[in-house]
């Protein structure tokens, strides 16, 4: 059985294509929100802004390293670094 992974959503800001690290586990929105200390709705807003996410089957999944790198880049673009 194989899984298909797709980048989804249109980013408001251009983003580089995310390279998948197959050694890093995929996590849920709830797990990412808990890890970052924010709500699930906060994560959903960041996805709409272009945070890297992957569709695994019918579910949205994340890799922590990609999400954190994206957040850091957004801070640098906004002059908040």
Can you read off the two tokens belonging to residue 28? 């849920």
Domain count, the chain: 1
5 found inside a domain: no
Residue 59: give its domain's CATH number.
1.10.10
68 found inside a domain: yes
42 found inside a domain: yes
Can you read off the two tokens belonging to residue 64? 């922590």
Query: Range of 65's domain?
Result: 26-81
47 found inside a domain: yes
79 found inside a domain: yes
pLDDT per position in the chain (81 positions), as tens?
Answer: 455 555 555 445 545 556 788 889 999 999 999 999 999 999 999 999 999 999 989 999 999 999 999 999 998 877 655
Neighbours of 42 (CB within 10 A): 13
33 found inside a domain: yes
**pLDDT for the residue 22:** 87
């Amino acid at each position: 059985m194989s899984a298909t992974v797709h980048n989804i959503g249109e980013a408001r800001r251009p983003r580089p294509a995310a390279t998948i690290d197959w050694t890093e586990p995929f996590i849920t929105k709830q797990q990412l929100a808990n890890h970052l200390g924010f709500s699930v709705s906060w994560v959903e807003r960041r996805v709409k802004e272009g945070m890297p996410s992957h569709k695994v089957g019918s579910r949205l999944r994340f890799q922590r390293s990609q999400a954190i790198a994206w957040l850091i880049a957004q801070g640098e673009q906004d002059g908040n670094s």
